């Protein structure tokens, strides 16, 4: 146990390699307008207002669509490694995400058969830890995160999350019934449920919504004594502890006296009980001779139902429902996803943890269910996906949602008719690459605008190019700016910049080189050379932090190879497909070290590589040439 600041020991989970952390590069996100999609009109202006709490349906609680007059067009679909994508989102979205739902790959498959016992848990936990720490920073102060997991890694994950989020911020575990029939191929116990851990960013500020009441729940209320306040149900009037003040005799209408059972006491003091009796809020049974019970009226509990830890398939759907929903969208395909989530499961999560207009994030997007449900419920959303099904399934699915052409899932229950849109981004390339001599230089894929945006992220500036001052490419405060150029700046050019900046503002200049100046010449300027100034900031050229089991490094002394060979160009779409490939290719995954295949080798031609944005004239640099 490591010591705490106050000298006490702190309980925490440790594992092999826990101290090793990646130095992530804050990549830029490059928008591709051709893959973005928006409705041709603001649909909210043409439909009636929808309440933030939906009406009761036979299928269980439903949540609202977007408020009248509001369609969200700034949703984001990001293609690329999700760890790099989360790092790219950090600057803009820290403290802004209200609800996060993730269904990460579980630690399964035969790829770990070549590891020493316990190594696989360490690798998986390290990869999850890196992502969870970023996700926590993205959460708003009143936000929460839901993580779905099976029983293989749930216990390790729970303790790890206690360390990241704090045990006081653990709100509970939901047990979701993902299937209703046992798997006949199971050797021991057939798993019919998953766990969903719920943590708050700050429990003291986190507020959860209640679920809308169902007709079945309302049917539990009756009115046997014809109370004018309407149907009611009763609850126990004792508590599970002895309190001397609340341990007293109650005289029943029949004349008999009753006391709480041994070790218990009444839940209210005697004066409160007499008030309740006078208001006819106590029920003594049909003959007036039963233990008193508190009457709770349906008219007083219309605000909803507190969620329980058991989420039945009847209330939250099951995997088969998710498959049917996907099948209705892609009728010509045969189960492209092994375990797609039903829309009602995500609807329940978003109903509990968010409100219309809130930001929702899923960094393991899969088939895109989270984005589809969030869109229909009027939430803003961000999804991240590395698999090619980002293009083959998520984009077509979201287009149908936007066009109002997705009749399945929760569409009918929330009254969804279409609208809104999303912007498609890909994770940009690494800023630095190695030249023919092995030196790190600025990547050829970067134009001037991309370079300026990347340097803003690296130096902690907000990228916001000015339309009037060419040297104002970003800012950290109202008076502190950044200017990025690959030129070599002379003393005369720096003097001109210093004069333009003035005595009440400051400017960070990142340039290829500078000459003719010494420290203190320009008090309002800070000049750095690039790329020298950023060489030690992060890992450059590392494009794959994938949570794919087969991508993980092998233990020292074992043979192995990284992903990226020609045979890996066709990336399996689902977890089930990946597990099958891992089993089929276990020899190729762990016995190829001597071949020298690496992520960046010649055999990696099949791997998709981001292309740069269209070249753009360096307007800012040309302005300097005339000085």
CATH of the domain at 346: 3.40.50.150
Are residues 200 and 229 both part of a single domain?
A: no
Q: Does 85 share its domain with 190?
A: yes
Q: What's the pTM value of the predicted model, to 2 decimals?
A: 0.76
**39/164 same-domain check:** yes
Which SS3 state, helix, strand or coil, does residue 393 take?
Answer: helix
Strand intervals (E) in 213-347 = 232-236, 238-239, 250-251, 257-258, 265-266, 282-283, 293-297, 310-311
User: Where does residue 626 rank: exposed (0-12), middle (13-18), buried (19+ CB within 10 A)?
Assistant: exposed
Coil/strand/helix, residue 57 = strand
Same domain, 252 and 104: no
For 349-400, strand residue ranges (E) read 359-362, 380-385
pLDDT band at residue 262 using 50, 70 and 90 as cut-offs: very high
Q: Is the pLDDT of residue 453 over 70?
A: yes
Q: Are residues 229 and 375 in the same domain?
A: no
- Per the prediction, the chain carries an average pLDDT of 82
Task: Note the pLDDT of residue 108.
Answer: 52
Q: Which of 13-27, 206-220, 221-235, 540-554 has the lowest mean pLDDT?
A: 540-554
pLDDT for residue 545: 86
Q: Quick: pLDDT tens for 104-139.
A: 887 554 444 444 445 677 888 898 999 999 999 999
* 385 and 335 housed in the same domain: yes
pLDDT in tens, 479-528: 999 999 999 999 999 999 999 999 999 999 999 999 888 888 999 999 99
User: Do the Cβ atoms of 314 and 60 come closer than 8 Å?
Assistant: yes
**469 and 531 share one domain:** yes
- The single-letter DSSP state of residue 246 is G
Q: Of all residues in the chain, what percent carry a pLDDT higher than 70?
A: 79
User: Is 369 inside any structural domain?
Assistant: yes
Is 105 a member of any domain? yes
Better-predicted residue by pLDDT, 89 or 188? 89
**Residue 268 belongs to a domain:** yes
Q: For 472-476, 503-507, 551-555, 568-572, which range has the lowest pLDDT when averaged over its residues?
A: 568-572
Residue 76 corresponds to which tokens in the numbers above? 């984001």
Task: Please report whether residue 601 resides in a domain.
Answer: no
Last residue in a domain, options 407, 427, 447: 427
Q: Are residues 206 and 221 in the same domain?
A: no
Residues 181 and 141 in one domain: yes
Residue 304 has pLDDT above 90, yes or no: no
Residue 555 lies in a domain: no
Select the more confidently predicted residue: 22 or 566: 22
Q: Are both 207 and 219 inside the same structural domain?
A: no
Number of domains composing the chain? 3
442 and 411 co-located in one domain: no
Does 66 have pLDDT greater than 80? no
Handedness of CA 318, 323, 324, 325 (dihedral sign): positive
What number of residues does the chain have? Answer: 627
pLDDT (tens digit, 9 = 90+) per residue, 372-417? 999 999 999 999 999 899 999 999 999 999 999 999 999 999 999 9
| Confidence (pLDDT) at 548 | 55
Q: What b/e string do you get for 422-454 counting C-beta neighbours within 10 Å, with b at 16 or more?
A: bbbbbbbbbbbbeeeeeebebbebbebbbbbbb
Domain of 58 in residue numbering reads as 29-211+307-427
pLDDT confidence of 4, banded at 50, 70, 90? low
Helices (H) and strands (E) in the chain, counts: 17, 27
Span 334-358, pLDDT tens digits: 777 878 899 999 999 999 999 999 9
Strands 97-102 and 359-362: what pairing? parallel
590-624: pLDDT as tens digits? 233 333 333 333 333 333 444 444 443 333 343 33
Residues 230 and 129 in one domain: no
pLDDT at 218: 79
- Over residues 549-565, the mean pLDDT reads 43
Domain end call among 247, 276, 300: 300
CATH number at residue 620: 3.40.1350
Quick one: pLDDT at residue 214? Answer: 74
User: Using 50, 70 and 90 to split pLDDT, how confident is the model at 44?
Assistant: low
Is the link from the previous residue into 531 a cis peptide, with omega within 30 of 0? yes
Provide the 3-class DSSP secondary structure of residue 482: strand
Handedness of CA 67, 73, 74, 75 (dihedral sign): positive
């Amino acid at each position: 146990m490591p010591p705490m600041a106050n000298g006490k020991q702190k309980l925490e989970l440790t594992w092999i390699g826990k101290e090793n952390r990646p130095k992530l590069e804050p990549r830029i996100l490059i928008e591709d307008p051709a893959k973005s999609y928006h409705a041709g009109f603001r649909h909210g202006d043409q439909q009636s207002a929808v309440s933030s709490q939906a009406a009761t349906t036979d299928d269980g609680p439903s949540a609202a669509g977007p408020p009248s007059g509001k369609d969200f067009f700034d949703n984001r679909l990001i293609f690329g490694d999700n760890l790099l994508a989360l790092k790219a989102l950090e600057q803009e979205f820290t403290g802004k995400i209200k609800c996060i739902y993730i269904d990460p790959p579980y630690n399964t498959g035969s790829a770990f058969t070549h590891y020493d016992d316990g190594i696989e848990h360490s690798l998986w936990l390290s990869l999850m830890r890196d992502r969870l720490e970023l996700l926590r920073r993205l959460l708003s102060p009143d936000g929460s995160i839901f993580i779905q997991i099976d029983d293989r890694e749930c216990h390790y994950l729970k303790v790890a999350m206690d360390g990241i989020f704090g045990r006081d911020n653990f709100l509970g575990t939901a047990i979701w019934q993902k299937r209703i029939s046992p798997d006949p191929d199971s050797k021991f116990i057939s798993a019919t449920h998953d766990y969903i851990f719920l943590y708050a960013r700050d429990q003291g500020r986190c507020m959860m919504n209640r679920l809308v009441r169902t007709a079945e729940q309302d049917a539990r209320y009756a009115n046997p004594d014809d109370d004018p306040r309407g149907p009611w149900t009763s609850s126990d009037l004792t508590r599970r502890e002895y309190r001397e003040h609340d341990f007293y005799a109650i005289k029943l209408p029949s004349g008999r006296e009753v006391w709480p059972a041994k070790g218990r006491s009444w839940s209210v003091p005697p004066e409160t009980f007499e008030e309740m009796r006078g208001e006819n809020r106590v029920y003594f049974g049909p003959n007036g001779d039963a233990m008193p019970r508190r009457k709770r009226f349906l008219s007083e509990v219309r605000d909803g139902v507190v969620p329980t830890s058991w989420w039945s398939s009847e209330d939250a759907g099951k995997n088969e429902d998710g498959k049917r929903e996907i099948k209705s969208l892609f009728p010509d395909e045969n189960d492209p996803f092994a375990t797609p989530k039903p829309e009602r499961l995500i609807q329940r999560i978003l109903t509990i943890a968010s409100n219309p207009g809130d930001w929702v994030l899923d960094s393991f997007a899969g088939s895109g269910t989270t984005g589809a449900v969030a869109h229909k419920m009027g939430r803003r959303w961000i999804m991240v996906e590395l698999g090619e099904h980002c293009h083959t399934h998520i984009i077509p699915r979201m287009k149908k949602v936007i066009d109002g052409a997705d009749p399945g899932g929760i569409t009918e229950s929330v009254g969804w008719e279409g609208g809104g849109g999303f912007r498609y981004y890909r994770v940009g390339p690494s800023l630095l690459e190695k030249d023919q001599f092995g030196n790190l230089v600025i990547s050829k894929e970067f134009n001037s605008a991309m370079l300026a945006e990347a340097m803003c992220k690296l130096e902690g500036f907000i990228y916001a190019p000015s339309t009037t001052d060419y040297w104002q490419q970003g800012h950290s405060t109202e008076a502190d700016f950044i200017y990025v150029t690959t030129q070599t700046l002379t003393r005369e050019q720096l003097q001109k910049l210093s004069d333009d900046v003035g005595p009440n503002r400051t400017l960070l200049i990142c340039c290829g080189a500078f000459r003719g100046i010494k420290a203190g010449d320009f008090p309002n300027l800070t000049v750095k050379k690039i790329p020298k100034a950023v060489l030690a900031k992060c890992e450059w050229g590392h494009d794959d932090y994938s949570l794919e089991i087969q991508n993980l490094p092998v233990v020292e002394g074992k043979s192995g190879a990284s992903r990226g060979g020609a045979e890996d160009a066709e990336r399996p779409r689902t977890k089930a497909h990946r597990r099958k490939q891992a089993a089929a290719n276990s020899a190729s995954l762990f016995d190829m070290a001597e071949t020298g295949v690496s992520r960046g080798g010649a055999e990696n031609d099949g791997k998709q590589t981001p292309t740069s944005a269209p070249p753009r004239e360096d307007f800012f640099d040309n302005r300097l040439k005339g000085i």
